[in-house]
Structure 1
Amino acid sequence: MPNFTLPRPARLTRTHKVSAALVATAGCAAALVATAAPSGAETTAAHAPAAVKPVSANGLPMTAKDRADDGKQARAVASSVAAGLKGTAAEKQNHAAEQTANRSVERKALVAPKAAPKAPKAPKATPKRYANNLDGWIRESLDIMKAKGIPGSYEGLHRNIMRESSGNPNAVNDWDINAINGVPSKGLLQVIQPTFDAYHVAGTPHKLTDPIANITAAANYAADRYGSIDNVDSAY
């Protein structure tokens, strides 16, 4: 017998297997399409969509009244939805406004208002001091006379005081007619008690020999009788 060797079967790789499978699949698909595809005329006639007629809830064809009622219901639903949307929008707007107002109040509360600057206190008026002598008595009497509207000058007061008492507040005349009548003249300007009582100036001591009370009462009397103490040059 001749000696020969059978050829070894060819080994298929993975690439060959995938290619073969793809070819087989494509062939089957082409066959199915060719079998299932109807002709153009048959397709147009068989597959034309039928006209859909609207029906009511009971399955019967809808009448014009049914369509009108459905339209009213649809409009009612749409109006309700729109009202709800408007209400929601209004609520959101009101809520946003409230939040803005609250934030404004909070900011105002956080920022403490600046205290108004305190007005400086008016300095207390220092009472005017006068010397306890004839010059001081005349000057204090003049200030009181000015406040009360009683005329008179330093010169007029000083001149009459020196003539009447030489500046002695306790001087007493015990020899003139007044002394004879029991009401002697006393003080810097030699005033009798009835005259002092009638012309006493409020705010001064009610004492005939007090220097300030004596001067102001005498000046008040002289202003009433002579126009001013400055017009007096002798016993008055």
Structure 2
Amino acid sequence: MQPEKIQLGQILNCANNSESDNVVWVSDTADLVDTYCFMDDNKRPYNISECVEVAKLNTSILSLDGFEVEYMMVPLYKRMILEAADAYDICMSVIASPKFGIKSFSQEWDSETKKQLLGSIDHELGTKEEPLVIRLFMASSRTFRKKRDTQFNVDNKEIQDYYNMTVFPKFVWVCEISSKALYENQQVLGEIIIDATSSPDAKMDSIIIVNYPYALCRRMPEDFLKASEACFEEVKEWKPYDIFRGNLTDCQSL
């Protein structure tokens, strides 16, 4: 389910780096979705219900289709070690990093680029007025790369070559990065790809690709434990591209 456009920026999270005092404000699309498609043996398949917050005994609980929600468990493939919470923390660390974060790159954009990506030049990307819009998801590398290869074949040939030359594990976590203006058009301005089969202890060493406008950093298996030494390469020809939808199905049509 996609959040309504008007909701973007209403709920903000803060990604910060304590060593550099780098602060980036983020709007996570997952915080804006309250409708879920689930299976219940007592009801028709693929039932769609809204998860709402209900007051109870001086506290609040989540209610889904009349049931009180205590936990949500999502089964993963046996070779997937990195959980969603760990993947989220790693991506937030990358975003706030003085070396890998997008803020240091966005400050170098000219007015034309800012207007193209942000819709205006009034605010810097990563501020409360113009937060990063992120979407975190898991995908098989085969499906993900096939979709991106098709997308990049049109306007991002240089990025396509970098992706094709990079070794991917069987599963990846992807954090798409966008602005409010681009997300309204279902487009992104970059993404962070991390190894879903790596240990949570690897932290930022699980980075595979950090893809930003006109700059890309990629790491190969032999670069393990050397994320601090990774460098960005200049991308001369770059354009925004569509969000990944290869692992999503519209439940309304089922």
With the shorter chain as reference, the TM-score category is under 0.3
Task: Select the structure with the greater relative contact order (CA < 8 A; seq sep ≥ 6).
Answer: 2
Higher strand share: 2
How does the TM-score come out when normalised to structure 2? 0.20
Bigger-Rg structure (1/2): 1
Higher helix share: 1
